[in-house]
Amino acid sequence: MLPVNDASFDDYIGKIGTAKVTVPLPNRGIAARARAALDLGRTAMWIERGPDIWWGGIPWTADLASDERGMLGLQVQAAGWASYLDHRAIFHTQQGTAVDQFDIVRGLLAYSASLAGGDIGIEWDDEQLSGTLRDRTYRRYDQPRIREVIDQLASVEDGFEWRIASYRDPGSGRRVKRLQLGAPVIRTGETEIVLDHPGPIRSYGWPIDATVRANVWQSRGASDNRNQTQESLPLMTELLVDEEQLAAGWPRLDATSDYTTVTDPGTLAAHARADLAAATNPQTIPEVTVALDRVALSPALLGATVRVRIRDLWWAEGLDRRYRVVGLAISPPLRGRPETAKLFLEAA
């Protein structure tokens, strides 16, 4: 265990969380311990708060810095466990027909762990099912990254959410890395937390963005290279048009997406339909910042529902809505400001 300063970290559903810490090096002994412990890309990093684990991941980069007084500090940047799957490729064709999409994910993780040096201790529940069956083939010739294909599988029509959570087992006390799955979304917690502004909410941000909207969509898949005598053309979906939006007076807004490893027309069409559905009514992701000395929060809140109540000049009539927490970022206390948590929200 090493002492750290200025620890900040975040965690998300649908996105890899990161952590930044500074290890002070006031003497030769601590410097030697830090050099021995921080073998980048090999070391596991856990952030604990009291008896609980708040974050876990892999340190990938570090920067040794000296200030004007000669004081040394090692600034370490880490990413959540799922970042390891960015460094794992599929070198052996994986194929399944009419397989539950959760089993496809578990099969990919099992494949990753089965190869020499590939098991980093990720655990999962074999019994949980989504009820949606998929046909998938991941070819060794494409050499896709495992996280990329899981993200693509999750984002298709009738997809799911996934993350690798960190916590301490209440029975044994051991630290756990566990795959968390939810279809269509991950939901946790039974007790609703109420956040008020003015009140525990110190500040908030409410993005309003039309640049991500679209009402016409086409997706492009893998190229057909089987006939070398003909031009290689990619698989294309039909042009999907939201006629209702156009009839309601919206201007035509075109968008496209690429799935270069998808060879099945049905799979590509399901991706296109999911992409269009997300673009015709894009989710607003508001964020609220709360002081941790005012309300008890932890990363276990991811997937839970909170009730947000705001009354100010914009929400003069008062906002009172329920949201699901899809992201959380912890910032250390600064002079004149307590330790804070920024919550990223999605309509519940």
Q: Where are the domains of the chain?
A: 5-82, 88-182, 193-208+284-347, 216-280
193-208+284-347 CATH: 2.30.300.10
Give the CATH number of domain 88-182; options: 3.30.530, 1.25.40, 3.55.50, 2.60.40: 3.55.50
> Are residues 123 and 182 in contact, defined by beta-carbon separation less than 8 angstroms?
no
- Lowest-pLDDT choice from 1-10, 57-66, 114-123: 1-10
- Backbone φ and ψ for 259, nearest 5 degrees, come out as -130, 80
Mean pLDDT value across residues 124-142: 95
Residue 190's pLDDT band (boundaries 50, 70, 90)? Answer: confident
Owner of token pair 């991500």: 212
Position 245 pLDDT exceeds 80: yes
Q: Which element (helix H / strand E) includes 235?
A: strand 234-236
Q: What is the pTM of this model?
A: 0.88
pLDDT at 162: 98
3-state per-residue secondary structure call for 42-66: CCCEEEEECCEEEEEEEEEEEEEEE
Structure tokens of 302?
Answer: 């991811």
Helices 146-155 and 265-280 pack at an angle, to 10 degrees, of 70
Per-residue pLDDT tens for 11-20? 999 999 999 9
Nearest to 315 by CA among 195, 197, 194: 197
